Structure 1
Amino acid sequence: MSTVPDGPAVIDSHHHVWDLAVRDQDWLGEAELAPLRRDFTLAHLEPEARAAGVTATVLVQTVAVAEETPEFLVLAAGSDLVAGVVGWTDLTAPDIADALAALRESPGGEHLVGIRHLVQGEPDPRWLLRPDVLRGLSAVADAGLVYDLLVKPHQLPAAVEAARRLPGLTFVLDHLAKPPIASGGLHPWAEEVHRPAALPNTVCKLSGMVTEADWASWTVDDLAPYADTVLNAFGPERVMFGSDWPVCRLAAGYADVLGAARALIAGLTPAEQGDILAGTAARTYGLPPGPL
């Protein structure tokens, strides 16, 4: 039997699953992503997460397909690990309010905590500021959900403006906005990431760093300047741990990713570590703060 590490409860605020027999993941077409071209299910995740001391997780969408979110809600309803789902729906649809209500009313709908779109793939760096997108984001706020921001550094200005225009919507910045860790480039990303942090309706996930670093040779020291930047900018009460499993497996195992996060926050107080490892995710997504 695995021994659960000592320390506070851990909520993994960001992971994925997929079954290629159900749906292809077309974003996995690049040769370097070949290790991910296999099924990754909750049955694969659970022993790794439990062994690492994780008590709850948030399952995050991977493709812009309407059918995926209802499937994830059913998975969450049947799992004692998945506490929340960040799904996808078309933000630009005229009937988005009805679509969100239908998701809430579907089997497992009580597990829907947020919405995400793959903004990083949009060619327009100001996509988030389109009138139809802002209308959709407003509907997300009205539904009592949060919005996960998957953006790259050059898209941060639009994300900041969207958050400023919609103070009633909580924006969750995924993966630190993907700074260029492998090249060691800290600027201008460091300045840009302070801009959303200046707004009270934003939080940041301490996630996705190992796959922005050198996959074969990254160290905690490589990650530290980026983690320190967001911790200083947002504060521990607005930073949350996420594994980005199974994508993280390109560079590190589940336990290694959580171990790196623990090392990066080791100098903080126990209360601050508790926020990053569980409290921030629980507050942001409305999850139970302790073991489920």
Structure 2
Amino acid sequence: MSDASAVQRISNDFLPVRPDWLARHAEPVIEPDLPIVDPHHHLMDSPGHRYLLPEFLDDAGSGHRLVASLFVECRVFYRPYGADDRRSLGETEFVNGVAAMGASGAYGPTRACAGIIGNVDLRFGDRAGPALEAHVAAAGGRFRGIRNVAAWHKDGIKATTANPPQGLLLRPDFRQGFAWLARLGLTFDAWLLHTQLGDLIDLARAFPDTTIICDHIGGPAGIGPYAGRRSDVFTEWETAMRTLSRCPNVNVKLGGMGMHVMGFDFHMGERPVTSEVLADGWRPYVDVCLDAFGPDRAMFESNFPVDKGSCSWVVLWNAFKRLASGMSADEKRALFMGTACRVYGLNLAAQGIAV
């Protein structure tokens, strides 16, 4: 069986991570001393997808200077018991334990999971408030916000392992729960497709005091009915993203472009592509985001291990550094560390991290 035919989306809609394939291409690290805070990665342990602290640190220690990271929910290690609005506490408790391991220094200089973006289903309405407070209490000062995945499409496009309903961000019960975020000083990460950006714009305008982060460049789809229509999708996506950027409470994560839903075929070759090829393919999207939001409201993200189906950690961050090569030192600092720390209230000095 050829490499290309072997690359199938497995049951949870991730591209498979193939270490032997990734090892077929290596390149030197660009700007190895540039400090990085990765604002978006996952930890998981499910059939075919084991990615816990050792695996993450193997990637983090491969050459780039990762000083800290933020974990983003992926519906793992939920409690199998108790009230339905408390079961997701299991994930926060698990990640907080991992963060304590990283903070000890016993596993190297990287402060893994220094911030936690967890999950409370905001459709609980006012019940979401006490649930959010429980996560804050369980996280030892690390809880920064939540994500409720909203990615949905009428044609059944799968962008995530979650199964959100149509129009999640517009629902009255969701918005009743959403109102608690600003009261508690918490952020909201939004993962959705480009066809839903209008819903996010409406939400951001309705809650101007809540800090919102648009994940994965706003999800310009490239599969299903959008396969072969990259130019049309780009035009629609760009218009919506520029409108979204006029909401000053919204920030954007630059990444997630290695996922199958984006429609790139970088994972299909006999060998992985270079960081230069990745940067060339992703540049139009990143350039629009940087022009619209500016470096102070944008941040590069790994989205590992999901994006590891397309490239290695070294190649991914090399591609990002190529995309930022024309920026000033201050702009690079914002994109690779500063924006993430500001948006999520991450105090590196308080965690003993000197940069």
With the shorter chain as reference, the TM-score category is 0.7 to 0.9
Contact 1:11 1:277 (8 Å CA) reproduced: yes
State the shift of 1:158 in Å: 0.7
Match of 2:22 in 1: none
TM-score normalised by the chain length of structure 1? 0.88
Report if the CA contact (8 A) 2:41-2:72 is conserved: yes
Pair 1:57 & 2:84 matched? no
The residue type equivalent to 1:176 in the other structure is I
Which SS does the other structure have where 2:205 is aligned? helix
| 2:212 counterpart of 1:175 | no
Structure 1 residue 225 and structure 2 residue 284: aligned?
Answer: yes
Alignment-derived partner of residue 136 in structure 1: 177
**Aligned-CA RMSD value:** 2.1
TM-score, length-scaled by structure 2:
0.73
* 1:32 corresponding residue in structure 2: none
Paired with 2:29 and 2:201, the residues of 1 have a C-alpha distance of 42
Pair 1:3–1:197, CA change in 2 (3 A): closer
Matched, 1:73 2:96: yes
Task: Map Cα deviations across residues 175-208 of structure 1 (whole Å, 9 max, x no partner).
Answer: 0012246853321111111111111100000111
CA contact (8 A) 1:203 1:234 kept: yes
Shift of residue 8, structure 1, vs aligned partner: 3.0
Partner of 1:34: none
SS at match of 1:119: coil
Q: Is 212-221 or 198-207 further displaced after alignment?
A: 212-221
Could you list the runs of 5+ residues in structure 2 that have no partner in the other structure?
1-27, 79-87, 104-110, 153-163, 268-272
Separation in structure 1 between the aligned mates of residue 325 and residue 29 of structure 2, nearest angstrom: 21
Q: State the partner residue of 1:245.
A: 304
Aligned match for 1:87, one of 99, 118, 128: 118
Secondary structure at 1:199 match in 2: coil
Aligned amino acid, residue 91 of structure 1? L
1:98 lines up with 2:130 in the alignment: yes
- Unaligned ranges ≥5, structure 1: 25-36
What is the 5 A alignment of 1:1-292? 5-20=31-46, 37-50=48-61, 51-63=63-75, 65=78, 66=88, 67-80=90-103, 81=111, 82-93=113-124, 94-106=126-138, 108-121=139-152, 122-124=164-166, 126-180=167-221, 183=228, 184-185=230-231, 186-211=234-259, 212=262, 213-216=264-267, 219-289=278-348, 291=353
**Residue identity opposite 2:201 in structure 1:** V
Look up the equivalent residue of 1:70 and give its one-letter code: E
| Counterpart Cα distance in 1 of 2:132 and 2:100 | 18
Asked if structure 1 preserves the Cα contact closer than 8 Å seen for 2:37 and 2:336, the reply is yes
Structure 1 segments of 4 or more deviating over 2 A?
2-8, 180-185, 210-213, 215-219, 288-292
Number of residue pairs matched by the alignment: 274
CA positional deviation for 1:129: 1.6
Aligned in 2, Cα 1:100/1:207: closer, same or farther, shift over 3 Å?
same
Aligned 8 A contact 1:210 1:257 in 2 = no
Contact 2:215 2:252 in 1 (8 A): yes
Q: How many Å separate the matches in 1 of 2:347 and 2:177?
A: 28
